[in-house]
Chain A
Amino acid sequence: MNDNLAKMREAAKRALESGDVGYVIGWGATKFPDKTSPLFMRKPEDAERLVWNEYAIPGIAKYLLDDLYPDKPIGVFVRGCDSRAINRMMKDNRIKRENLRLLGIPCDGKDDERCTICRNRNPLVYDELLWDEAPTPEPKDRYFRANAVEAMSADGRYAYWSEVFDQCIRCYACRNICPACNCKECYVDMTATGFQGKQHSRSDNLIFGVTRAFHVGDRCIECGECERVCPMGLPIMGQTQKILKDINELVGDYESGVDAESENYLGVFDLDDKDEFM
């Protein structure tokens, strides 16, 4: 067992024994060596089932929305991406800091493509840090998908996105894993309104794609979870990357979820908005 896993099990066990937390969320083993599954530990002995390896990939912060009014704080292990997800949901007024007990675990990068663009392996918000931080290696091109799409002609882009969304089966896994997709009720589920047609057609699929992109918009924390969970392997990060790229080029340095205070760029209404680029 590696030292860090021992520290995690110890921390989870301690938290559960003290009764300070209701439960702790981490990662557990599956029947497959290359897959882990989010694990909910309720008893101190559950901590023995914790796993920490290159396959501890799934994002675990989104589960906090399942339990908005917990009797006791919820313990969560937080890597860099989980901490940004938590900042995001706090800034969006969906979860409260006092309901969280954050066990910070500087991440070593996982066996997943999205980790190659990670800009914050170290947690940005936590109550205790279980081991020393290490610098995040130079990330790959932050806008790799958006750049590829920008290089296409207008017709080429239409053909590209049509091909992508013709393949979308509208399972909404990308929405359900996304920490920025945190509306109390999603427009997709308001079936009586007819906002989102239930048919699987190019137009209904594109409507979902575009709406998801703009609703997430500037709040995307660039965690890449949407692409990881897509059963069809669709390159949908290209959409939010384009929005973030435009903000960074037109307005200035911007990253979502690095804290829980900074203002958004798109999700605000301001009478003095210069609207220069609209």
Chain B
Amino acid sequence: MKIKKDKFKDALASIAKEAKVFLPMKGVYASEYRVWDGAGEPFFERNTALPPKELLFPRSERMYEYDLNAGTVTEAAPDEKIVIAGIRPCDVRSVEHLDKVFLESEYTDVYYRARRENLTMIAYGCATPAPTCFCDSMDVVPTDAPGADVVMNDAGNSYVLTVNTPKGEHIRDLISSFLSEGKADDVPAVSCSLKVEKPDDLHKQLIARFDDPMWETLSDACLGCGCCSYICPTCYCFDIGRENRGKTGTAFRCWDSCMFSDYSRMAGGHNPRPTKKERLRNRYLHKLAYFPERYGTSLCVGCGRCIDKCPARLDITNVPDIIQGSESNG
């Protein structure tokens, strides 16, 4: 199936009749997946500054409200239908990882589940990886997204569409009047320029080197901000808080970052991760060791955002490099 590029917005308009459509778009200050207003142009040149996690796991989310006068507790139940048109394969993989945490482990997160069930993903196969992209070293194929409901690939003046799921079939039916015949084999292969070599047992080797001096040098330049975790599509830590107004109030949860000092500070003031060395080690190990140990796959999807935006230019790909280097040195 194909859709002519000049019919793309008409197709989005058909989808927008029954769901809120999000597109990668340039903002005044930074690019992100934004609500499509019926006119805005998609931004496909490179991946967005902000990842899509906001749509499933908002930076701040009301969980429930209570009113002691009325004796009521009202739980939030997000029910909005959302379609992301043009989500990158790395970001689709990140959603699969979030699913593992919020849906597939022993506890099911009701807020995430409500949003996830209402989400349809139309992936945009990457044509132009940025210099910091390395998803094809992290088991993502830049031009394909098996976890998406529909995959679309650039083929000159049209997009080639591949439908993967029943949700995808629904999208196909909605936009059928704009579709024509066309095969997916017109799609040229795409390769990231940044390559990362890593041994199969990377997670074991990293854990074995928990006390290695390498963490000190890796974290020398770290400023301990939350930038890398907040722009990472797979960093999912949150904090829970309450806002009380007399006898009424709200419980909320909001993003948190293991790079902040108060993240691991305990009552009484003791902090088991006292410096940036321990905090950066934790972030890297969570991505490359703890998550693989538990779920059998790397949590880093190679989107390159943290490399691109780190104020100190820290680079997570240096971690597998060090392990690989010491392997080849014997």
* Residues in A lying within 8 Å of B, measured CB to CB: 30-32, 35-40, 58, 62-63, 66, 163-164, 167, 169-173, 175-177, 189, 191, 197-201, 225, 228-229, 231-235
- Given contacts A32-B132, A40-B217, A233-B30, A172 and B255 within 8 Å (CB-CB): no
Docked-complex contact A30 and B243, CB < 8 angstroms = no
Interface residues of B in 110-144 (CB under 8 A from A): 131-132
Docked-complex contact A176 and B225, CB < 8 angstroms = yes
Docked-complex contact A171 and B227, CB < 8 angstroms = yes
| CB-nearest residue of chain B to A23 | B220
- Shortest distance from the beta carbon of B229 to any chain A beta carbon, whole Å: 8
Q: How far is the CA of A36 from the CA of B310 in the complex (A)?
A: 11
Docked-complex contact A38 and B30, CB < 8 angstroms = no
Docked-complex contact B60 and A231, CB < 8 angstroms = no
- Given contacts A198-B254, A199-B60, A37 and B30 within 8 Å (CB-CB): no
- Shortest distance from the beta carbon of A167 to any chain B beta carbon, whole Å: 5
Docked-complex contact A199 and B224, CB < 8 angstroms = no
**Central interface residue in A40, A201, A232, by most chain B CB within 10 Å:** A232
**Central interface residue in B230, B239, B252, B307, by most chain A CB within 10 Å:** B230
Interface residues of B in 256-288 (CB under 8 A from A): 256-257, 260-262, 276
Docked-complex contact B60 and A200, CB < 8 angstroms = yes
Write out the residue numbers on chain B whose beta carbons fall within 8 Å of the beta carbon of A197.
Answer: 241, 243
What would 19 A/B residue contacts be, using CB atoms closer than 8 Å? A32-B132, A35-B313, A37-B312, A38-B220, A40-B220, A40-B221, A58-B313, A63-B221, A169-B50, A171-B227, A171-B257, A172-B225, A173-B226, A173-B311, A198-B241, A199-B243, A200-B59, A233-B49, A235-B29
Docked-complex contact A231 and B30, CB < 8 angstroms = yes
Pick the contact of A30 from B220, B261, B311, B315 — CB < 8 Å?
A: B315
B235-263 toward A: CB 8 Å interface, digit per residue (1/0)? 00001010100000000101111001110
Assess whether B68 is interfacial by the CB under 8 Å rule: no
Q: How far is the CA of A62 from the CA of B311 in the complex (A)?
A: 12
Known: A200-B255, A229-B225; 19 extra A-B contacts, CB below 8 A, are A35-B313, A58-B221, A62-B223, A169-B230, A169-B231, A172-B260, A177-B225, A177-B311, A189-B262, A191-B262, A197-B241, A197-B243, A198-B256, A199-B60, A199-B243, A228-B311, A229-B223, A231-B227, A233-B30
- Shortest distance from the beta carbon of A47 to any chain B beta carbon, whole Å: 15
Write out the residue numbers on chain B whose beta carbons fall within 8 Å of the beta carbon of A235.
Answer: 29
Interface size range of chain B in the complex: 35 or more
| CB-nearest residue of chain A to B306 | A231
* Residues in B lying within 8 Å of A, measured CB to CB: 27-30, 49-50, 59-60, 131-132, 194, 217, 220-221, 223-227, 230-231, 239, 241, 243, 252, 254-257, 260-262, 276, 307, 309, 311-315, 317
- Given contacts A169-B230, A200-B255, A231 and B49 within 8 Å (CB-CB): yes
Write out the residue numbers on chain A whose beta carbons fall within 8 Å of the beta carbon of B307.
Answer: 32
**Top 5 A-B pairs, shortest CB-CB distance:** A229-B311, A37-B313, A173-B225, A200-B60, A38-B221
Docked-complex contact A199 and B226, CB < 8 angstroms = no
Write out the residue numbers on chain A whose beta carbons fall within 8 Å of the beta carbon of B256.
Answer: 198
Q: How far is the CA of A207 from the CA of B315 in the complex (A)?
A: 32
Pick the contact of B317 from A31, A62, A189, A200 — CB < 8 Å?
A: A31
- Given contacts A199-B252, A200-B60, A233-B30, A176 and B224 within 8 Å (CB-CB): yes
- Shortest distance from the beta carbon of A207 to any chain B beta carbon, whole Å: 14
Docked-complex contact A36 and B313, CB < 8 angstroms = yes
Docked-complex contact A31 and B194, CB < 8 angstroms = yes
Write out the residue numbers on chain A whose beta carbons fall within 8 Å of the beta carbon of B312.
Answer: 37-38, 58
Q: How far is the CA of A170 from the CA of B255 in the complex (A)?
A: 10
**Central interface residue in B239, B262, B317, by most chain A CB within 10 Å:** B262
Write out the residue numbers on chain A whose beta carbons fall within 8 Å of the beta carbon of B311.
Answer: 58, 173, 176-177, 225, 228-229
Q: How far is the CA of A176 from the CA of B276 in the complex (A)?
A: 12
**Central interface residue in B60, B314, B315, by most chain A CB within 10 Å:** B60
Q: How far is the CA of A169 from the CA of B276 in the complex (A)?
A: 20
Pick the contact of B313 from A30, A171, A175, A231 — CB < 8 Å?
A: A30
Write out the residue numbers on chain B whose beta carbons fall within 8 Å of the beta carbon of A170.
Answer: 226, 230
